[in-house]
A and B are shown apart, each in its own frame.
Chain A
Amino acid sequence: MNAISAEGLMKTFGSGEKAVRAVDDVGLTVAEGTVLGLLGPNGAGKTTTVRMLTTLLAPDGGRATVAGHDVVTQPQAVRASIGLSGQFAAIDENLTGRENLWMFGRLYQLSSKQARRRSDELLEQFSLAEAADRPAKTYSGGMRRRLDLAGSLLIHPKVLFLDEPTTGLDPASRMELWDVIRERVSGGATIMLTTQYLEEADALADRIVVIDHGRIIAEGTADELKAKVGGERIEVVVHDPAALSTATEILQRGSAGECSVDEHTRRLTVPAATGSKGLVQVIRDLDAAEVEIDDIGLRRPTLDDVFLHLTGRFAEEEPAAEAVAQGVSSGND
Chain B
Amino acid sequence: MATTEHAPQVGSVQAVGIRQVLSDTMIIAWRNIRGSLRVPDTQIYMFIQPIMFVLLFAYVFGGAIPVEGVNYREFLMAGIFVQTMAFAVAPASVGLSDDMHKGLIDRFRSLPMARSSVIAGRVVSDLCSQLVVLVIMMICGVIVGWGVHNGVGPFLAGVGLMLLFAFAMLWVGAVIGLSVGNPQVAASAGLIWLFPVVFLSNAFVPPETMPALVQTIAEWNPISSMVAGARELFGNESIIVSDAWPMQNPVAAALIWCLLITVVFAPLAVRKYKAAASK
Residues on A close to B: CB < 8 A?
13-15, 51, 54-60, 71-76, 79-80, 82, 84, 86, 88-95, 99, 103-104, 106-109, 135, 151
Q: With contacts A55-B8, A58-B278, A107-B27 known, is A90 near B3, CB below 8 A? A: no
Across the interface, which residues of B come within 8 angstroms of A95, CB to CB?
Answer: 31, 34-35
Across the interface, which residues of A come within 8 angstroms of B184, CB to CB?
Answer: none
Query: Of A56, A74, A89, A91, which contacts B109 at CB under 8 A?
Result: A56
Across the interface, which residues of A come within 8 angstroms of B113, CB to CB?
Answer: 107-109
A107 to B111, Cβ gap below 8 A? yes
A90 to B107, Cβ gap below 8 A? yes
Across the interface, which residues of A come within 8 angstroms of B31, CB to CB?
Answer: 92, 95, 99, 103
B12 to A90, Cβ gap below 8 A? no
Kindly name the residue among B6, B30, B113 whose own CB sees the greatest number of chain A CB atoms within 10 A: B113
**B151 interface contact, C-beta 8 A:** no
A to B CB contacts below 8 Å, 10 in the list: A13-B1, A57-B278, A58-B4, A58-B7, A71-B8, A72-B7, A82-B110, A103-B27, A103-B31, A107-B111
Residue of A nearest to B103 (CB): A90
B residues 10-67 in Cβ contact with A at 8 Å: 11-16, 20, 23-24, 27, 30-31, 34-36, 38-39
Contacts A58-B8, A92-B35 known; 15 new A-B pairs at CB < 8 A: A55-B109, A56-B110, A57-B278, A58-B4, A59-B7, A71-B8, A80-B112, A90-B103, A95-B31, A95-B34, A99-B31, A103-B27, A107-B27, A109-B113, A151-B107
Kindly name the residue among B4, B7, B38, B110 whose own CB sees the greatest number of chain A CB atoms within 10 A: B110
Contact with A along B98-134 (1 / 0, CB 8 A): 0000111011111111000000000000000000000
**B179 interface contact, C-beta 8 A:** no
Query: Of B30, B34, B104, which contacts A90 at CB under 8 A?
Result: B104
Query: Of B16, B23, B35, B108, which contacts A94 at CB under 8 A?
Result: B35
Instruction: Please report the C-alpha to C-alpha distance between residue A74 and residue B36 in the assembled complex, in whole angstroms.
Output: 35
Across the interface, which residues of A come within 8 angstroms of B23, CB to CB?
Answer: 106
**B9 interface contact, C-beta 8 A:** yes
Kindly name the residue among A54, A60, A107 whose own CB sees the greatest number of chain B CB atoms within 10 A: A107
Interface residues on B, range: 35 or more
Q: How far is the CB of B224 from chain A (nearest CB, A)?
A: 37
B12 to A75, Cβ gap below 8 A? yes
Q: How far is the CB of B223 from chain A (nearest CB, A)?
A: 31
Across the interface, which residues of A come within 8 angstroms of B35, CB to CB?
Answer: 92-95
A84 to B107, Cβ gap below 8 A? yes
8 closest cross-chain pairs (CB), A and B: A94-B35, A58-B7, A90-B103, A80-B112, A90-B107, A79-B112, A107-B113, A84-B110
B107 to A75, Cβ gap below 8 A? no
Query: Of B4, B7, B30, B110, which contacts A54 at CB under 8 A?
Result: B110
Overall SS of chain B's interface: loop
Count of A-B contacts judged by CB separation below 8 Å: 102
Query: Of A60, A74, A88, which contacts B3 at CB under 8 A?
Result: A60
Instruction: Please report the C-alpha to C-alpha distance between residue A75 and residue B11 in the assembled complex, in whole angstroms.
Output: 10
A104 to B6, Cβ gap below 8 A? no
Across the interface, which residues of A come within 8 angstroms of B112, CB to CB?
Answer: 76, 79-80, 107-109
Residue of A nearest to B5 (CB): A58
Instruction: Please report the C-alpha to C-alpha distance between residue A109 and residue B23 in the assembled complex, in whole angstroms.
Output: 9
A57 to B1, Cβ gap below 8 A? no
Instruction: Please report the C-alpha to C-alpha distance between residue A73 and residue B12 in the assembled complex, in whole angstroms.
Output: 6
Across the interface, which residues of B come within 8 angstroms of A92, CB to CB?
Answer: 31, 35, 102, 104
Instruction: Please report the C-alpha to C-alpha distance between residue A14 and residue B278 in the assembled complex, in whole angstroms.
Output: 13
Across the interface, which residues of A come within 8 angstroms of B13, CB to CB?
Answer: 73
Instruction: Please report the C-alpha to C-alpha distance between residue A37 and residue B113 in the assembled complex, in whole angstroms.
Output: 28
Q: How far is the CB of B274 from chain A (nearest CB, A)?
A: 11
Across the interface, which residues of A come within 8 angstroms of B6, CB to CB?
Answer: 58
Q: How far is the CB of A236 from chain B (nearest CB, A)?
A: 45
Kindly name the residue among A54, A55, A151 whose own CB sees the greatest number of chain B CB atoms within 10 A: A55
Residue of B nearest to A10 (CB): B3
B107 to A76, Cβ gap below 8 A? no
Across the interface, which residues of B come within 8 angstroms of A60, CB to CB?
Answer: 3-4
Q: How far is the CB of B97 from chain A (nearest CB, A)?
A: 14
A108 to B111, Cβ gap below 8 A? yes
Q: How far is the CB of A69 from chain B (nearest CB, A)?
A: 11
Instruction: Please report the C-alpha to C-alpha distance between residue A157 and residue B34 in the assembled complex, in whole angstroms.
Output: 28
Q: With contacts A73-B12, A76-B15, A109-B113 known, is A135 near B4, CB below 8 A? A: no
Q: With contacts A90-B104, A135-B38 known, is A104 near B111, CB below 8 A? A: yes
Q: How far is the CB of A298 from chain B (nearest CB, A)?
A: 39
Instruction: Please report the C-alpha to C-alpha distance between residue A14 and residue B1 in the assembled complex, in whole angstroms.
Output: 7
Query: Of A15, A57, A76, which contacts B16 at CB under 8 A?
Result: A76
B102 to A93, Cβ gap below 8 A? yes
B residues 167-181 in Cβ contact with A at 8 Å: none
Residue of A nearest to B12 (CB): A75
Instruction: Please report the C-alpha to C-alpha distance between residue A103 and residue B25 in the assembled complex, in whole angstroms.
Output: 11
Q: How far is the CB of A209 from chain B (nearest CB, A)?
A: 21
Q: With contacts A75-B12, A108-B112 known, is A56 near B102, CB below 8 A? A: no
Residue of B nearest to A79 (CB): B112
